[in-house]
Amino acid sequence: MSTAPATASSASSAAALPEIRVYNTLSKSKEPFAPLRPPHVGMYLCGPTVYKESHIGHMVGPVIFDTIKRYLSYCGYQVTWVVNITDVDDKLIAQSRERGIPMSQIAVEMTADYLANLRELGVNQIDQLPRATDHIEGIVHFIETLVEKGYAYASSGDVFFDVARDPNYGQLSNRLTDQMLGDGGGAAAKKRSPGDFALWKSAKPDEPSWPSPWGNGRPGWHIECSAMSHAYLGETFDIHGGGLDLVFPHHENERAQSSCCHGAPMAKYWMHNGLMRAGAAGKVGGRSDRAAESGAAESGAAEGGATTEGLDAVAIEEQSAGKISRSKGAGGLSELIQRHTGERLRFFLLRTHYRSTIVFNDEGLEEAATALDAFYRFFDRFEQITARSFYSLPAARWRRASALAEGEGADADATLAALAAQRAKYLDAMDDDFNTGAAISVLFDMLRTLNRHIDQQQLAAGAQSSDAGFETLLTGAEVLRELTAVLGLFAKPQAAAGGGGQDGAEFAAQLMEILIELRKQARTSKNFAMADAIRDSLTACGVSLLDSKDGTSWERQRS
RNA sequence: GGCGACGUGGCCAAGCGGCUAAGGCAUCGGAUUGCAAAUCCGACAUCCCGGGUUCGAAUCCCGGCGUCGCCUCCA
């Protein structure tokens, strides 16, 4: 009566080939990851429409998929990752009008902003960043094919996708087509039915446009992703990602276009990351829904101004004076990065599972900072003892190349044994739908193991490689490096560990003030040995003290 | 109205039928320390409520309460 066979049978063989499981929005369940053409993996992430500066919410997907690519690569796959830049769109046109500058210029500016932010967050695994406007021809061709095959129809300069022709429409987002096709009748005069969506939009007089068989116009939203993913990854690729908010209509429509055009599935795995919410003091955002009104009167509490924060409560950039901005200091992403460092933001994002909602607020970021400090302190400690920088340790870039791969060499040494077990736990977490939160918790365990090892072996600054436990520390740190690198963390030393954007020069000035004051006190109390020691030490690191009747100033020596 | 997610210690957050319910922040003890910090050891939850299925549920099902998202542009 026991179900033992199921668990027992896999025990021996499974160890050799760890199975990665991925949550697929299409099937609403976790599936074994089996790419179409192993070891190659094609991955497409829907990038931004570049009409405004990006905000922190735009970073969630890139950080997650950057990590996914890192992990898959680490496991031996060869991943090609494409992120599109949508640089034609109604919003861009609107911005262009508003600011009185060409659409293309806005796109260039905002793309640069986006990329700069990605870089700060350590997102550097993207292979291709195609722009929609560079692929107009392909887009037109794509639409032509759809028209030829009868899935789309032209209607006075526009071209629409005929939703009724796709029996699978609605599958991804779990919507019924007849529901959408409903009675609505003639919602838009040009469409056959209200659910149809534009593939090509005819140009109005002063809008940017490109020639096409249907006259001058521009691509509709969705089609650029179908065309570009096809151009770079082929008819069917492995992973298609994006925010949960893109499931409908964006991905549903992409899927319809692509599968109808090619007669093949667009992607094997549809992965969607959770959205971010601003977690202000009270409650946040959400527009007042129909129905929500009834009980509002009695709770006088919320009256202050909890009104519409806008749909995207996270868009602090535009919340000029609202309570949201006050509670977290207004400003865009770049200011956020400056205040918290990109690494902190990345760490913060990775601590939550990618499919859940992340509540974003300063408290969370501060906590992340505190937690991260434990790592930075260990790196310092490690460097003191071994005279090696943690950041320059050779990290195994492949799972099976690890110093502790499959637990080898871990038998005799308790520390290594513990680390090997922890590493296995980490890998299990990552194998299970990229559970970065659980993986990071293991990292803290490793930190404790390593610190305990140092304490117990009494390793101190200037230790020798012949000292007991020295080699173990080295090996252990390498493994920690290996596993943190997979998450894209600790690539390079932080300017000021945990300092949170303290300006370097200003910081140095503050320190110097303290030292000068101490030396002054030493001199006053005739403790000249101490005073000289301070000055000599400073000289040793390139700082000269200049005494005068007005006090003491300092300068750095030119090298 | 339709679709969907979530509710785990003071806070954040893993867990997806069965080891002592991860980890972080905070708090409280202890070791260490000239003091402090850091580090280490230890303490701190039966999982929104009510039913049900099961030998066994935080984990599955039903009902309730609550929070949130999508259905329109959105990562």
Buried b (16+ CB within 10 A) or exposed e, A256-294: bbbbbbbeeebbbbbbbbbbbbbbbeeebbeeeeeeeee
Q: Say if residue A506 is in the same domain as residue A478.
A: no
Task: Report the distance separating Cα A302 and Cα A397, nearest Å.
Answer: 52
User: Which of the nucleotides in strand B have any atom less than 7 Å away from a protein CB atom?
Assistant: 1-6, 11-16, 18, 22-26, 38-41, 67-75
Give, in Å, how far the C1' of B62 lies from the CA of A284. Answer: 32
pLDDT score of A179:
53
Give, in Å, how far the C1' of B46 lies from the CA of A202. Answer: 63
**For the segment A355-371, what is each residue's pLDDT rounded down to a tens digit?**
999 988 888 999 999 99
**For the segment A61-113, what is each residue's pLDDT rounded down to a tens digit?**
999 999 999 999 999 999 999 999 999 998 899 999 999 999 999 999 999 99
Give, in Å, how far the C1' of B70 lies from the CA of A489. Answer: 33
Give, in Å, how far the C1' of B66 lies from the CA of A168. Answer: 36
| ipTM of predicted assembly, 2 dp | 0.95
The pLDDT confidence band at residue A411, using thresholds 50, 70 and 90, is: low
Phi-psi label, residue A324: left if phi above 0, alpha if psi -120 to 50, beta otherwise: alpha
Among A486, A511, A529, residue at a domain's last position: A486
**For the segment A304-357, what is each residue's pLDDT rounded down to a tens digit?**
222 222 223 333 333 322 222 223 333 578 889 988 999 999 999 999 999 999
Give, in Å, how far the C1' of B31 lies from the CA of A459. Answer: 18
- Identity of the residue numbered A422: Q
Q: Is the CB of A426 under 7 A from strand B?
A: no
**For the segment A280-316, what is each residue's pLDDT rounded down to a tens digit?**
432 222 222 222 333 333 333 222 222 222 223 333 3
Among A311, A329, A347, residue at a domain's last position: A329
Whether A235 is in a domain gets the answer yes
The pLDDT confidence band at residue A174, using thresholds 50, 70 and 90, is: confident
Do A323 and A283 contact (CB within 8 A), yes or no? no
The pLDDT confidence band at residue A407, using thresholds 50, 70 and 90, is: low
Domain CATH number, residue A117:
3.40.50.620
Q: Say if residue A550 is in the same domain as residue A428.
A: no
Q: What's the mean pLDDT when you consider all of chain A?
A: 82
Q: Which residue has the higher pLDDT, A174 or A153?
A: A153
Do A251 and A243 contact (CB within 8 A), yes or no? no
**Structural domain span for residue A237:** 35-329
**For the segment A509-559, what is each residue's pLDDT rounded down to a tens digit?**
888 888 898 898 888 888 898 899 889 888 888 888 888 777 888 887 765
Give, in Å, how far the C1' of B22 lies from the CA of A8. Answer: 25
End-to-end CA distance of chain A: 79
**For the segment A100-112, what is each residue's pLDDT rounded down to a tens digit?**
999 999 999 999 9
Q: Say if residue A440 is in the same domain as residue A538.
A: no
Checking each nucleotide's C1' against the CA of A290, the nearest proves to be B1
Whether A349 is in a domain gets the answer no
Checking each nucleotide's C1' against the CA of A447, the nearest proves to be B39
Domain CATH number, residue A450:
1.20.120.640
Q: Is the CB of A84 under 7 A from strand B?
A: no
Question: Beta partners for A31?
Answer: A22
Q: Is the CB of A276 under 7 A from strand B?
A: yes
Q: Is the CB of A464 under 7 A from strand B?
A: no
Do A474 and A459 contact (CB within 8 A), yes or no? no
Q: Could you give the number of structural domains in chain A?
A: 3
Q: Which residue has the higher pLDDT, A449 or A280?
A: A449
**For the segment A147-172, what is each residue's pLDDT rounded down to a tens digit?**
999 999 999 899 999 998 999 998 99
